[in-house]
Chains A and B, each alone.
Chain A
Amino acid sequence: MKRILEKAVKWLLTASGFVTSVVILLIIGFLFTEGAGLFREPVVEEGYVLVLNKENPVSAMTAAEIKAVFDEDVVNWKDLGGPDMAIETFRLEDVDEYFSAEELGPQYENAGGAIAGLVESRPGMVAFVPGSMIPEDAGVKLAEDRNISPGEVFGGREWFPTATPAPLFGILPLLAGTVWVSLFAIIFALPFGISIAVYMSEVASEKVRGFLKPVIELLNGIPSVVYGFFGLIVIVPMLQQVFGLPVGESGLAGSIVLAIMALPTIVTVAEDAMRNCPRTLREASLALGATKWQTIYKVVIPSSMSGIASGVVLGIGRAVGETMAVLMVTGNAAVIPSSILEPLRTIPATIAAELGEAPAGGAHYQSLFLLGVILFFITFLINMCVEYISARNRAKNS
């Protein structure tokens, strides 16, 4: 009976381990397929085309150029390599300005022909309409469309996922924002984290330590949205006054909140590493006449360096992937930040904020999955670093 039970438990553990691994692999596979789907999407919103006059020599435009044209930032075709001719833009919403209801027909069945005729008669016009509306034999030409290229995505400096007719998916501002805010968070958290760890493992009495350690670990249990709220109500107005900023939501507010959040991880891991420093090392140092402080910074810290490093890297990992707190305090402006006092936008915040209303399966939706893939690679790299550092540590100690 006992043996059967043991077998059953063993079988159950194997099965659950196997199933979990497969599920994790499937999730990663799903992330990658959805993310890669972005590069199969056309530049112009799916289902729509840009209609140009036949005479117009310009036949292809980049997403950024299309946006500039429809925002009326570029108003002449010569800026796009065409003739010196004013650009007229046409959207479906403008249809009543040009045609009466009778001309369009009760079910708008004549709208396609009418728009094609309009573009035919105006050499400088570019129309953004559903592809199915334009009749096959119309005397107009469609702007060449191609798929979104990786260069535009990975090298693009503008994130405009809902721009029409052509959304822009440049991830550089988001990547820069993530790196920037995590970097500063770790710069703030590092000195405090290490000093708390040294104090707790070397200086504090057993009583103080018994009180401090659970308090610091308690910080880990506070939900991140509470940190975000605290940041928005307390840190943001404070920064605004201290630095005299026009706007308090900034990378700095985000990195301060993240530093507080990363602190417990750094402290706990670094403190454990220092306490695990072999007693023989300390005693040897003290026996040679070193003071307590000399022992700490010449012996204890160097010998537990890899433990401290993995604590720091784990802290960075927490900062990079943090969503809610950052979403609430950084202002989420998708520009490449030039100083930490400016608003910025991070990758996790973008995913959380935009996925809710992005049409499922569309380019915007897939671009968010691509951001997920990038985040996956960043945290993967960080975890590899932790593995490497602790492997080195094990090798040294054995």
Chain B
Amino acid sequence: MYRGTYVLAIISCAMLFCRNAEAQRVKGSDTLLPLTQELAEQYIDEHPGTEVIVTGGGSGVGIAALPENTTDIAMASRRIKFGEKMKFAEIGLDAREVIVAYDALAVVVNPSNPVDSLTREQLEAIFRGKITNWKDVGGEDRKIVVYSRETSSGTYEFFKESVLDNKNYMSSILSMPATGAIIQSVRQTKGAIGYIGLAYLNPFVKPVSVSYDGGASYARPSVGTAADGSYPIVRPLYYYYDARKEAEVGPFISYVLSAEGQASVLEQGFIPVLMEEKAL
């Protein structure tokens, strides 16, 4: 009886520490998580005997895991920061960067809101707290309630770069822990405005058209407008990997960039790399 338990314990320990040599670990951004999981499943189906383990945790977690060798590929919804690059350089890690897809952010308001187009300057003023009433941008006399993602999400950073021109959000902004929470809040708050990934758009919130040229031309967010370059709030999504591991991770990355892989990118509501590059 006791001996049986011991043997079992030893076996389970061994299983914990022994990793399949073929297994590739992918870790990082929660934006890329569902897409990468889908791609990994297809990749495993086509290449039996291989294994790809995908985990989330955030862009920062993924990039921090790369030098610690607890992941082979880091997913990131933002470009690697200078400080992180310096850390890599200290231990002589040469990280390669691949853009695997593009993601568009949609600015959404409550469906009852008559406002349906805003310029970048107006958005900047709203998110920085300079405009606080909808009547200043052609709407009803109602206080604007601004929702944002949490300070450390990649989406938050990108919106700040693209729409706020690198300036800071106002301090009284409401930060929500997840995209789902923003949708829920915008849906039930009349004066609300927020931003979400294009893939999350649903009928309960209304996307607004955005203009980056001072109101000359507005574009509604959709895969089509994002791909042809008319919709401006589009960000690249990255994979980072150690250049020394090119041989191991190469097949998966080339699968992701293949026509097949990019077809599922489109299916998941992201913009394929080729479509975007054609537009540029």
Residue of A nearest to B89 (CB): A132
Chain B residues proximal to chain A, CB less than 8 Å: 57-61, 63-64, 81-84, 86-87, 128, 142-143, 145, 150-154, 156-157, 161, 166-168, 171-177, 181, 184-185, 188-192
1/0 per residue A77-118: CB within 8 Å of B?
A: 000000000000001010000000000000000000000000
A189 is an interface residue with CB less than 8 A from chain B = no
Query: Chain B contacts of A240 at CB under 8 A?
Result: 188-189
A164 & B166 in contact (Cβ 8 Å cutoff): yes
A160 & B152 in contact (Cβ 8 Å cutoff): no
B152 & A333 in contact (Cβ 8 Å cutoff): no
A359 & B142 in contact (Cβ 8 Å cutoff): no
- Among A339-366, those with CB < 8 Å from B are 343, 345, 352-362, 364
How far, in whole Å, are A47 and B185 apart by their CA atoms in the complex? Answer: 38
Can you name 17 A-B residue pairings with CB atoms under 8 Å? A45-B83, A161-B151, A162-B156, A236-B188, A246-B142, A248-B189, A332-B174, A332-B176, A332-B177, A333-B172, A333-B173, A334-B171, A353-B150, A354-B152, A356-B57, A357-B153, A359-B84
Query: Chain A contacts of B168 at CB under 8 A?
Result: 67, 71, 160, 163
A158 is an interface residue with CB less than 8 A from chain B = yes
- For the complex of A and B, list the 4 residue pairs with the smallest distance between their C-beta atoms, beginning with the closest: A357-B152, A356-B58, A357-B58, A357-B60
How far, in whole Å, are A381 and B87 apart by their CA atoms in the complex? Answer: 38
Residue of A nearest to B61 (CB): A356
Query: Chain B contacts of A161 at CB under 8 A?
Result: 151-152
Provided the pairs A46-B83, A356-B60, A358-B152 are in contact, do residues A91 and B171 lie with their beta carbons within 8 angstroms? no
B189 & A246 in contact (Cβ 8 Å cutoff): yes
A71 & B175 in contact (Cβ 8 Å cutoff): no
A227 is an interface residue with CB less than 8 A from chain B = no
Provided the pairs A358-B60, A364-B152 are in contact, do residues A333 and B167 lie with their beta carbons within 8 angstroms? no
A93 & B166 in contact (Cβ 8 Å cutoff): yes
Query: Chain B contacts of A333 at CB under 8 A?
Result: 171-175
A237 is an interface residue with CB less than 8 A from chain B = yes
A368 to chain B, nearest CB (A): 9
Residue of B nearest to A335 (CB): B172
Residue among A47, A93, A159 making CB contact with B83, cutoff 8 Å: A47
How far, in whole Å, are A353 and B148 apart by their CA atoms in the complex? Answer: 13
How far, in whole Å, are A361 and B172 apart by their CA atoms in the complex? Answer: 27
A328 & B181 in contact (Cβ 8 Å cutoff): yes
10 additional A-B pairs beyond A160-B171, A359-B64, A361-B64, beta carbons within 8 Å, are A67-B168, A158-B171, A236-B185, A331-B174, A332-B150, A332-B174, A332-B176, A353-B177, A357-B150, A359-B60
A230 is an interface residue with CB less than 8 A from chain B = no
A328 & B177 in contact (Cβ 8 Å cutoff): yes
Query: Chain A contacts of B176 at CB under 8 A?
Result: 332
A246 & B152 in contact (Cβ 8 Å cutoff): no
Residue of A nearest to B161 (CB): A93
A246 & B143 in contact (Cβ 8 Å cutoff): yes
How far, in whole Å, are A343 and B172 apart by their CA atoms in the complex? Answer: 8
A176 to chain B, nearest CB (A): 13
A171 to chain B, nearest CB (A): 13
B152 & A232 in contact (Cβ 8 Å cutoff): no
How far, in whole Å, are A183 and B64 apart by their CA atoms in the complex? Answer: 38
B174 & A362 in contact (Cβ 8 Å cutoff): no
Query: Chain B contacts of A61 at CB under 8 A?
Result: none
Chain A residues proximal to chain B, CB less than 8 Å: 45-48, 67, 70-72, 91, 93, 130, 158-164, 173, 232-233, 236-237, 240, 246-249, 327-328, 331-335, 343, 345, 352-362, 364
Query: Chain A contacts of B86 at CB under 8 A?
Result: 47
Residue of B nearest to A71 (CB): B167
How far, in whole Å, are A46 and B191 apart by their CA atoms in the complex? Answer: 39
Query: Chain B contacts of A246 at CB under 8 A?
Result: 142-143, 145, 189-191
Query: Chain B contacts of A360 at CB under 8 A?
Result: 60-61, 64
How far, in whole Å, are A246 and B145 apart by their CA atoms in the complex? Answer: 7
How far, in whole Å, are A46 and B60 apart by their CA atoms in the complex? Answer: 16
Query: Chain A contacts of B83 at CB under 8 A?
Result: 45-47, 359, 362
How far, in whole Å, are A364 and B189 apart by their CA atoms in the complex? Answer: 31
Query: Chain A contacts of B59 at CB under 8 A?
Result: 357
A247 & B189 in contact (Cβ 8 Å cutoff): yes
Residue among A45, A237, A327 making CB contact with B188, cutoff 8 Å: A237
A232 & B184 in contact (Cβ 8 Å cutoff): yes
Query: Chain A contacts of B185 at CB under 8 A?
Result: 232, 236, 249
How far, in whole Å, are A160 and B160 apart by their CA atoms in the complex? Answer: 13
Residue of A nearest to B67 (CB): A360
B151 & A354 in contact (Cβ 8 Å cutoff): yes
Query: Chain B contacts of A364 at CB under 8 A?
Result: 152
How far, in whole Å, are A327 and B150 apart by their CA atoms in the complex? Answer: 10
How far, in whole Å, are A327 and B154 apart by their CA atoms in the complex? Answer: 19
Query: Chain B contacts of A236 at CB under 8 A?
Result: 185, 188
Query: Chain B contacts of A356 at CB under 8 A?
Result: 57-58, 60-61, 152
B151 to chain A, nearest CB (A): 5
Query: Chain A contacts of B61 at CB under 8 A?
Result: 356-357, 360
Residue of B nearest to A330 (CB): B174
How far, in whole Å, are A207 and B228 apart by their CA atoms in the complex? Answer: 71
Query: Chain A contacts of B172 at CB under 8 A?
Result: 333-335, 343
How far, in whole Å, are A341 and B240 apart by their CA atoms in the complex? Answer: 44
Residue among A130, A343, A354 making CB contact with B174, cutoff 8 Å: A343
Residue of A nearest to B144 (CB): A246
Query: Chain A contacts of B81 at CB under 8 A?
Result: 359
How far, in whole Å, are A81 and B57 apart by their CA atoms in the complex? Answer: 44
Residue of B nearest to A132 (CB): B86
How far, in whole Å, are A358 and B62 apart by their CA atoms in the complex? Answer: 11
